[in-house]
Amino acid sequence: MARPYIEFIQAQQLDWAKGLPGRAFDDVDARILSQDGETGAMSAILRYPPGWSRPGSHGLAATEELFVLDGALEIGGVTYQPHHYANLPPLYARQDARSPRGATVLTFFDRLPEKALPAAAGEWDLARVIPHVDVVAMPWEWVGADDPNLKHLGAGIKRLRRDPETGETSFLFCSGPHSRPLSGYGRQETHTVVEESFLLAGEIAGTGGLRRPGAYFWRPPLLRHGPFGTLTGTMSFIRAVGGRLEDTWTADEIAFDFAPKHQPFVPAELAEAAAKEWTPPRW
Ligand SMILES: [Fe+2]
């Protein structure tokens, strides 16, 4: 079964489990955010324990897209610190991976992550490999200032990946504090592709309720969402899955509320975890 609509689940409400389907990560703990029952593709938070190591050369049958949330992960002599990014296509050779102090890593696989013999250097998909990006060092590209549907957000983007064939993208999206539709009402948007998001910082009010850091959604195509706003400002990791992400706006507007009702849309197996609003101590 393809992945169900999830909007949203706080990752903190999911249990840690040992390993991942595919058996290539039996030595880490994982919170699976969503998975495709047909292809084995999945999105997860992996927690590498302190002292984790995988000597020698190894590979995966899946593309591994990673973004470090906490700690540090080393692969092939490169250290991935918090908010460092990579996109490693199938059969990419990882050499002497380790995590002396442990790491928590937001990770996306495009099929079941099974072990595979790595290809010789340079024989993996060179058009798609992104070995290492220090995303903190990238400048924000400010967007939407001339768009009546976006200008209230004070929005910025850091573009991480665009697939050369499908147009699929991964990017960070930020918006400034005190952002909301200025009239109190806003249009809703739809896309023709899946939009997937993990909230890294700040709180954002809108479809499904109030999302806090760690909030995750997988939104299939053509579902209306928004309007959104934030008191604190926000930063999200966003992926478009299945093609280019373009906005189509409804003609009608609906009311925006900084304190929306908690009503997440989740499949039955997540209903209990998602039912209660996750409210960390504020002050
Ligand atoms: Fe959207």
The tens place of each residue's pLDDT in the chain, 283 residues long, gives 799 999 999 999 999 999 999 999 999 999 999 999 999 999 999 999 999 999 999 999 999 999 999 999 999 999 999 999 999 999 999 999 999 999 999 999 999 999 999 999 889 999 999 999 999 999 999 998 898 888 888 899 999 999 999 999 999 999 999 999 989 999 999 999 999 999 999 999 999 999 999 999 999 999 999 999 999 999 999 999 999 999 999 999 999 999 999 999 999 999 999 998 999 988 8
Q: List the CATH code of the domain at 141-275.
A: 2.60.120.10
- Tell me the CA–centroid distance for residue 29 and ligand 1, in Å: 30
For position 144, what pLDDT does the model report? Answer: 87
Torsion angle of C-alpha atoms 146, 148, 149, 153, degrees rounded to 10: 60
How is the chain split into domains, by residue range?
A: 6-135, 141-275
- Tell me the CA–centroid distance for residue 245 and ligand 1, in Å: 8
Alpha carbons 47 and 100: distance in angstroms, whole number? 13
Nearest CA to 19 out of 86, 109, 113 is that of 113
Tokens of 89: 């296509």
User: For the domain with range 6-135, which CATH number is right: 3.20.20.70, 3.30.70.100, 2.60.120.10, 2.60.120.620?
Assistant: 2.60.120.10
Q: Is the fold of 6-135 the same as that of 141-275?
A: yes
- Tell me the CA–centroid distance for residue 191 and ligand 1, in Å: 7
- Tell me the CA–centroid distance for residue 127 and ligand 1, in Å: 27
- Tell me the CA–centroid distance for residue 225 and ligand 1, in Å: 7
Nearest CA to 244 out of 179, 170, 175 is that of 170
- Tell me the CA–centroid distance for residue 261 and ligand 1, in Å: 19
- Tell me the CA–centroid distance for residue 165 and ligand 1, in Å: 21
For position 224, what pLDDT does the model report? Answer: 97
- Tell me the CA–centroid distance for residue 68 and ligand 1, in Å: 23
3-state SS, 22-57, equals CECCCCCEEEEEEECCCCCCEEEEEEECCCEEEEEE
